[in-house]
Structure formats: C-alpha cells, structure tokens
Chain A
Amino acid sequence: MAFAYHAMMMLSELAGDFNSAQYMNARFAQMVRDGRKWTQRSQQGGMEPVKYYY
C-alpha cells in the first residue's frame, strides 16, 4: 500500500491537487515510520507475513 500511496501522491501532484498530494504523502510517511520500526527491532524468527484473505 505504501507503494500505491507514493504513486497516488505523484499523480495528485501532477493533477494539481496539492491537498490530496499532502494527504498521500502523510500516509506514505506513516508507513515509512512503521517500516523503520520493523527494521530496527531485534527479532529472532516470527517473520511470517500477516495472513491475508480473499
């Protein structure tokens, strides 16, 4: 989803919708912060991705 938010940020910016771009940027930044937490924690195992459903 972070990848998609980044793409939507770029597309909003190109469309001149800067409020939307700012929102997408904030969502992307939030996910980057989560990613940093993930990489900085020390964990042995338990690295399976979260289950997903269709």
Chain B
Amino acid sequence: MTTKELYDVVYGRFPQAGERMVAKFVEEGMRAFCQQTHIYQGIYTYSSDGSSVQFKLDTDVITTDKVVVADSAQNYNGTPAKRLAGIPESGDATTSDYVYQVRNGFVLVGTLSDGNYVALPSGKTIVVYTHTVPDTLAAGLNEYDVSDTDVRQFEGVLVDVTPQNVNFVEGQNNVLVYQSSFIWHLHTML
C-alpha cells in the first residue's frame, strides 16, 4: 500500500478531514505501531574523537540492543561492549572491556576507570543496534510494504509507469480525416 492509498482509506470514511491532520494521525499510527511491536530495527553509527564518551541517540530510538566498537566504518565487526545495568556502585569500578549504558537519550561508551568513563581512542566506529521508528511514513512503507514509486502487475512484475507519448493528437482534424476516408471507402465499395 502506498502513502496515498493509506490516506485514501481514511478519506473514505472521513472525506472532510484535513490533509495535514490525516497525514499526522497516520504517521502517529506508524509510531504507535512500531513502539508497541518493536518491528522496525535500525543501526546508528558514531565516530569516536578520542575525547567524547557520550553520543546523542536519535529521539526515535525505542530500545538499544547491542553496541559494538569497530575499527572501521566499513566493517561493523568489532568488539561488543558490555551493557552496564546502572551507574557503577563503586568508585573503584575499573574495566578493560568496553562498557556502555543509555542515559537521558545518550549512549555512553568507553572503558571505566574508578567509575568514570574513559573515552575510546579516536578513529573507532561505535555501532548501535536499535529498535526504532522510520523517519517518515514513506520510509516505513518502503521497508515493509509497497514503495511509493513502484507499481506492480500480477505476480509482482514491476511495471514502468513513466507516461508514454503515443504521438497522437486528439482534435477535430483527426475526426475529419477519419470521416473523409470513411466516405472514400464507402464510395469505392459501392
């Protein structure tokens, strides 16, 4: 179903509803659906600069499942960070392994030294696996339903929907030509 078809379902019952209102409520439906099902997954990446320990999460993120510290931005294989259940209870907490936690919309990543985060060396890529919400309705439908741009025939065969020029101009001239040729044929037949 495309975005327009989805809107048309709503307009079928509420023909007088405002355009912006319908668009907003349908998108809100997408957000509610994603939040209640956790159906949409997303990956966010950040680059370490050698001094930052916290990285702003997208406000759409619902849950953070896994954080990996990778050596390059091209390859997400790396060292998984261990999740901290809360603020370290002891100031003596020191780790050599990467740890992370999510606080106030930020993901904090690094190693711990006496309970404080130590920033990752620069050049690392922090890969955050999340459940999130698509940015727009079209993006969500592209992922799980029909794209707005493609139209398909039976058996899912993609159809080119680009308007075709058939080199035919409608008008009175065509009608006259048709009529005169018809009369000429009529004459020859008789």
Binding site for B on A (CB under 8 A): 1-8, 10-11, 15, 28, 31-32, 35-36, 38-39, 49, 51-54
Q: A51-B155, A52-B152 are in contact. Are A39 and B37 (CB under 8 A)?
A: yes
A2 CA to B6 CA, complexed, in Å: 10
Q: How many residues of B contact A (CB 8 A)?
A: 31
Binding site for A on B (CB under 8 A): 1, 6, 9-10, 13-14, 17, 21-22, 25-30, 32-33, 36-39, 137, 144-146, 151-156
CB A21 to nearest CB in B, in angstroms, measures 12
State whether B25 touches A38 (Cβ < 8 A): no
A7 CA to B123 CA, complexed, in Å: 45
Interface of A is mostly: helix
State whether A6 touches B33 (Cβ < 8 A): yes
Q: Which of A3, A36, A51, A53 contacts B26 (CB 8 A)?
A: A3
A residues in contact with B156, CB < 8 Å = 51-52
